[in-house]
Amino acid sequence: MDFYRLNDKTNIYDLDIFESFENAISIIEWPDKLIEFIPEKRLNIKLSFVDDDDLRKIILAN
């Protein structure tokens, strides 16, 4: 799911994401847009660049 274009006028209940949370693994880009609706029991994965040599850092957290 990509939450980038969501805004305050988005009706979260029209997106049908709650069923996905219950029945599937959900991968969310830009989760901060709707963080209050994302289940607390989750695995957060943060990807970031380390330098210009295409090295990346991956952080996993509950």
CA atoms within 13 A on the CB side of 12: 12
- Asked if residue 27 belongs to a domain, the reply is yes
> Per the structure, how many domains does the chain have?
1
- Asked if residue 3 belongs to a domain, the reply is no
- Asked if residue 53 belongs to a domain, the reply is yes
- Asked if residue 1 belongs to a domain, the reply is no
What pTM did the predictor assign? 0.69
Torsion of CA 27, 45, 3, 41, to 10 degrees: 70
- Asked if residue 40 belongs to a domain, the reply is yes
Separation CA 15–CA 28 (nearest Å): 13
Read off the pLDDT of residues 1-54 as tens digits, 9 standing for 90 and up.
998 988 877 788 888 888 888 888 899 999 888 888 899 999 999 989 988 778
- Asked if residue 6 belongs to a domain, the reply is no
Residue 52 is predicted with a pLDDT of: 78
Residue range of the domain that includes 22:
12-61
Residue 6 is predicted with a pLDDT of: 84
